[in-house]
Structure 1
């Protein structure tokens, strides 16, 4: 009887270990080839994405490169099953100057495009991009202080619309740039919080253009959101109105 009991205990432990092993394998496969979760640590994409948002990124949207793999393991040469981003996509990518860092921005310039910002207005291929002033956005900082910030709806040449903020009106530090021509195989990225975004306009030491190999995936939908300035146990700080929302 004792031997029978011991055998059942041993078999039960092995079954549990097998279950855990396959659960880890499946989770890694999903994370690598289907969807990976990310959280938003900065305000560069306000009002589209807020600090404390958690979202899923589709890894299959643009194909796969070594940066699709955990720790960017170099097991995929170049990019396979490649599909190009559309203008206006919100994209997670590896920072070209430090591929251990993930950034999230909006694709503004495609390969061959000329992109310039003049007096706060965006020009793509020498054409002024349409924008419409709407109600101010109430921006709240980590100390609970609020301020009304000018907000616009911007319409890109392919018809995609999104909201942007102009914290300093049209005279921010990156509101006047030279004309940038996007090289083949690269993309020009900008944050929706135009005056508070480290992006392709003004930080060449970090990145000017993002190679397609560095794209991790397209932001698809929010699955959780919480005011990160509040304690973890404060359920009142969960933004229920943002749960399970698509990312535009």
Structure 2
């Protein structure tokens, strides 16, 4: 029969194990790979709601944004990356900084509200970016587009947020087929990726954006359903993203679930497990 001293030692050892495990997980998450769950459809068809991936933090080096945020509203925990690594914020530099490439799918911190976003890097420092009649221009050259049929999905509530997709083919009832025009875009450096369009809207007709030094311009692949750099920060958008706000590059989908929870195994998308991101 265990004595009180033995029981007390057992509790202490259990607490130590939990603390060590959390420290190891924190170091791993800070230095190497950060998990990211896709909450919205702004990157369809490249990324679907419910895709789960690890963000490669080594790709771009480290800044204050590399520190993890811990938000557990149920128990009142709200620790932001700035609370831990705020001393590194403000100089727009990185430790062991890597150079982002046009076409990267990257996770970054919103420059104003500090929410994590995932988009495709379109504009580099010094670039001129404009969208004219739905066509992206980079440094006055139109990005090559090739029609690639329709992107189709079932009209249903998607993911934990239970949102419904927008459709190009008009009002679609639940269970119907929601269609969007699909094209393959080729960026100036040769990176090809799919984009989808829903209809004509204000973000299809923009002024010219001159990307400042030390900043980047991001867009979603689901062009008409993405809050990105085309909308300035004072209007609720992303605007230009500072170098120090980059968190990492998304290279591969590890797991995917179409349901409200990853525990609903009947909603798993097995064809997306370990799928590379391009």
| Alpha-carbon displacement from aligned partner over 1:171-193 (angstroms, at most 9, x marks no partner) | 33311111111000000110000
Instruction: Output the CA distance in 2 between the equivalents of 1:191 and 1:113.
Output: 18
CA RMSD of aligned residues (A): 2.0
- The match for 2:245 is 214
2:147 is the alignment partner of 1:147: no
Counterpart residue number, 2:272: 242
Shift of 1:11: 4.7
Unmatched segments (≥5 aa) in structure 2 = 69-79, 158-173
Q: How does 1:27-176 map to 2 (within 5 A)?
A: 27-70=25-68, 71-72=80-81, 73=84, 74-77=86-89, 78=91, 79-99=94-114, 101-141=115-155, 142=157, 143-168=174-199, 171-176=200-205
Query: Which position in structure 2 is the counterpart of 1:20?
Result: 18
TM-score computed with the length of structure 2 as normaliser: 0.81
Aligned length: 242
1:196 equivalent among 191, 205, 225 = 225
The correspondence for 1:181, drawn from 190, 195, 210, is 210
Displacement after TM superposition at 1:136 (Å): 0.9
Contact 2:229 2:239 in 1 (8 A): yes
1:173–1:195 contact (8 Å) kept in structure 2: no
User: Retained in 1: the 8 A contact 2:227–2:238?
Assistant: no
Return the alpha-carbon distance in structure 2 between the equivalents of residues 199 and 122 of structure 1.
Answer: 14
* Structure 1 spans left out of the alignment, 5+ residues: none
SS of residue in 2 equivalent to 1:201: coil
Preserved CA contact (<8 Å) 2:107 2:248: yes
With over 3 angstroms needed to count, the CA separation of the structure-2 counterparts of 1:106 and 1:231, relative to structure 1, is: closer
Aligned-partner SS, 2:213: coil
SS in 2 for 1:25: helix
Tell me the alpha carbon deviations over residues 14-67 of structure 1, each in whole angstroms, 9 at most, x when there is no partner: 443332222111100001111011111111000001111111101121111111
SS of the aligned residue for 1:80 comes to coil
TM-score of the superposition, structure 1-length normalised?
Answer: 0.90
1:202-239 alpha-carbon deviations (Å, 9 max, x no partner): 344233110111111111221221113x5665422111
